[in-house]
Amino acid sequence: MHIVVVGGSFGGLTAAYDLRRLLRRRDHQVTVISKERRFIFIPSLPWVAMGSKTIADISFDLEAPLIAKGINFVEAAITGINPRTRKVLTDGTEYEYDILLLATGHRSANEAVPGLGPFDGPGHSLMSPAEAEEARDSWAAFLRDPGPIVIGCAPGASCLGPAYEFLFEAHHALQRRRIRHRVPITFVTPEPFLGHFGVGGFGKARQFFEGELEQRDIRYFNSAAISQITSESVELSDGKVFESRYSLVIPPLAGIPAVAGTDGLANPKGFIPVDAHYRHPDFPDIYAVGVAVALPPVEETTVPVNFPKTGHMTEQMAKIAAHNIASDINGSEQTTHELMVECIMDMGDKAAHIRADPARPPRNVSQMSVGKRWLWAKRFFANYYLWKIKRGATRSPKWVW
Ligand SMILES: Cc1cc2nc3c(=O)[nH]c(=O)nc-3n(C[C@H](O)[C@H](O)[C@H](O)COP(=O)(O)OP(=O)(O)OC[C@H]3O[C@@H](n4cnc5c(N)ncnc54)[C@H](O)[C@@H]3O)c2cc1C
């Protein structure tokens, strides 16, 4: 059998390595197709935007590690999928599959708000390596002539954590340069309350984040719908206008065009519906994991906030899907379990470790712990993750995400 995995990031790599371990080499081939030939540790992009890391520091070339594990690697952007003939299409070549696993991540839906950027408008972002590098260069220019800034998330955003990280890191960087007094900071979020994060909040996150922003003299607006970003301002749908010389706003996400454009594969936003086993409900030989899958929001909110599909959740999905693909082939039991969320948020001078199990409330575990030690843990984990995924290890210790 030929199992084709599209995507060489958290979902694609984890699944490919697990599949290679679970399936006999002489009977089954595993091929990873990825547009980007490097694995990039995306959670470190806020550090790239702040100038403390480069893309080279947080990435490695995929080809040699995959080949060493007996996995074929193709550097190519898929342009479409034909689920009926079981083919993945790229510009020059078609790849036949028996089972397909899609881990293709997202497209930033910048069209949702005029001015979302950076390449479509004056807003800055850090959802991709190129955007994080642009945010870094513009931030360096801003520091030479500082003024008011707005940081936040657009309506429908799901990846809210990086906006908080950039907010805290920006505050910390400005304080260290002793220019914080020249930079009024406004935080704008569609969340019904701070610390909601698209998972309905956890523990005392709301009180904690309100206190932390107030402590830092950061003005915040929740249930806020950004309606326009210009080079001098950020506007809300209720008429509020905030002056801003540097606006970093996280966009809502959508599925990639090759997936969104395949008839019957995706929902209107381009995300792929899956069952509890991460299998497509209509195409049983297609599985999907990570940001590419359609997962509903935890609740209806005044301004839409979507469910985050974190790297840690993506890993969990990929492990379940790989197990189920191997079970399909070997005729053994399928598996599934509820997703949990665990992450460490950089807050500039300290970090918060968050653990919510399951990710959707009500929960068995809702924990948050804050301190400088978590900042060291986050830095250690970023390097450790690169080291271990390069060697094909797909299990993470429990305390680190
Ligand atoms: C700034 C930022 C900070 C984050 N911080 C955290 C954090 O602290 N903790 C956490 O758990 N999560 C975090 N996340 C979320 C985490 O990065 C994602 O959950 C994770 O990257 C999802 O992995 P994925 O494999 O689904 O997709 P992605 O990482 O988006 O990868 C998609 C893959 O598909 C490939 N691809 C895309 N289009 C094509 C195509 N047409 N053809 C072929 N290949 C294609 C790409 O090259 C890439 O290899 C953060 C995200 C961002 C943006």
Q: 231 and 147, same structural domain?
A: yes
Q: Give yes or no for a contact between 194 and 206, defined as CB atoms under 8 angstroms apart.
A: yes
Determine, yes or no, domain membership for 399. Answer: no
| pLDDT of 304 higher than 60 | yes
Determine the structural domain holding residue 59 and report its residue range. Answer: 2-106+255-336
Q: Using pLDDT thresholds of 50, 70 and 90, give the confidence band for residue 395.
A: confident
| pLDDT of 228 higher than 80 | yes
| Distance from the alpha carbon of residue 15 to the mean position of ligand 1, in angstroms | 14
Angle between helices 161-176 and 205-215 (to 10 degrees): 30
Q: Is the CB of 258 under 6 A from ligand 1?
A: yes
Q: Which of 159, 167, 224, 288 is catalytic?
A: 159
| Distance from the alpha carbon of residue 129 to the mean position of ligand 1, in angstroms | 10
Q: Which of 135, 229, 343, 352 is catalytic?
A: 343
| pLDDT of 401 higher than 70 | no
Q: 152 and 99, same structural domain?
A: no
The residue whose CA has the least distance to atom 40 of ligand 1 is 77
Q: What is the pLDDT of residues 130-150, one digit of tens each?
A: 999 999 999 999 999 999 999
Determine, yes or no, domain membership for 44. Answer: yes
Q: 240 and 114, same structural domain?
A: yes
Q: Which of 199, 229, 250 is the last residue of a domain?
A: 250
> What's the domain count of the chain?
2
Q: Which of 336, 354, 379 is the last residue of a domain?
A: 336
| pLDDT of 372 higher than 90 | yes
| Distance from the alpha carbon of residue 220 to the mean position of ligand 1, in angstroms | 28
Q: 242 and 138, same structural domain?
A: yes
The residue whose CA has the least distance to atom 23 of ligand 1 is 10
- Average pLDDT (157-182) is 98
| pLDDT of 348 higher than 80 | yes
**159 noted as active-site residue:** yes
Q: Is the CB of 42 under 6 A from ligand 1?
A: yes
CATH number at residue 212: 3.50.50.60
C-alpha 98/C-alpha 96 separation (Å) is 7
Q: What is the ipTM of this complex?
A: 0.99
- Average pLDDT (244-261) is 98
Q: Is the CB of 341 under 6 A from ligand 1?
A: no
Provide the total of helices (H) and of strands (E) in the chain, helices listed first.
9, 22
Q: What is the pLDDT of residues 190-217, one digit of tens each?
A: 999 999 999 999 989 999 999 999 999 9
Please give the pLDDT value at position 40: 98
Q: Is the CB of 7 under 6 A from ligand 1?
A: yes
Q: Is the CB of 95 under 6 A from ligand 1?
A: no
Please give the pLDDT value at position 397: 62
Q: 137 and 23, same structural domain?
A: no
Q: Is the CB of 259 under 6 A from ligand 1?
A: no
Determine, yes or no, domain membership for 281. Answer: yes
* Selection from 301, 253, 294 nearest residue 113 by Cα: 253
Q: Is 362 exposed, middle or buried (0-12, 13-18, 19+ CB in 10 A)?
A: exposed
Q: Which of 192, 217, 250 is the last residue of a domain?
A: 250
| Distance from the alpha carbon of residue 105 to the mean position of ligand 1, in angstroms | 5
* Selection from 230, 226, 228, 235 nearest residue 246 by Cα: 230
Determine, yes or no, domain membership for 291. Answer: yes
| pLDDT of 109 higher than 90 | yes
Q: Is the CB of 11 under 6 A from ligand 1?
A: yes
Q: Using pLDDT thresholds of 50, 70 and 90, give the confidence band for residue 28.
A: very high
C-alpha 89/C-alpha 375 separation (Å) is 43
